[in-house]
Amino acid sequence: MPVRDAATVVLLRAAPAGTEVYLLRRLGSMAFAPGAFVFPGGKVDERDSEDGHGWAGPPPEQLAPALGASPATAAALVRAAVRETFEECGVLLASPAADPSGPAVSTGAGWADDREALAAGSVSLAELLVRRDLVLRGDLLRPWSRWITPEAEERRYDTRFFVAVMPAGQQAAGGTGESDRATWLRPAAAADAAAAGELTMLPPTRITLGELAALPGIPAVMAADRSTTPRRPAVILDGDRAWLSIPDEGSDDD
């Protein structure tokens, strides 16, 4: 099956008990990963190639090698990451053009129409940023990993995972028709719940949580030297059983 580019954002926040991550539970009726707890994200859309807006942070040409993509695809991946995060939880990684490296813009009830229009595809992220006089904050995203869906799956994605700190002054709120629950959890607690069968998760989500849990806090996460070598799980048939072989970090070998 064809492989589509996709982007996922792991939102982090500091809490009294330690670092927390934002997770959404996909609707049970969804064709891909129904009922699974996931990070905000989705496939790159055609309109994610549109530009003309301000851009803060490393240019696409600099990001391209880390993302294993052309500069144009790297730019589209970052736009998709920002767009999907806003669509799925109302968090917008953008700042006023007058202060492109300052605090992220405050979002609230007045942004509901823009969020719905973006989710419906009637407006592109570039158009929204230009109309709101905002710049995209690519510098708030850090590439974390890259996962490619096994060949046995009917829907296949080449997904770049990013990490980002929850902007001050914004509130995450799920609800775009693709999820029925949203929660903040400590990475270790979420991974343990998945291992115990209390939460349904795809392997990349569970493994990412374990990687985050191994680090002491948000500064360490954002400063981590990460490999984005593609990780390609494979389905191995053994008689009437099927196993999922998952490569180690930094290698696409088992």
pLDDT band, residue 107 (cuts 50/70/90): confident
* 215: pLDDT strictly greater than 60: yes
pLDDT of 109-135, one tens digit each? 789 999 999 999 999 999 999 999 999
| Weakest-pLDDT range from 71-80, 129-138, 169-178, 204-213 | 169-178
Three-state DSSP string of the chain: CCEEEEEEEEEEEEECCEEEEEEEEECCCCCCCCCCEECCEEECCHHHHCCCCEEECCCHHHHHHHHCCCHHHHHHHHHHHHHHHHHHHCCCCEEECCCCCCCCCCCCHHHHHHHHHHHHCCCCHHHHHHHHCEEEEHHHCEEEEEEECCCCCCCEEEEEEEEEECCCCCCCCCCCCCEEEEEEECHHHHHHHHHCCCCCCCHHHHHHHHHHHCCCCHHHHHHCCCCCCCECCEEEEECCEEEEECCCCCCCCC
% of the chain residues with pLDDT over 70: 90
Q: What average pLDDT is seen over the chain?
A: 90
**Does residue 254 register a pLDDT over 50?**
no
% of the chain at pLDDT higher than 90: 75
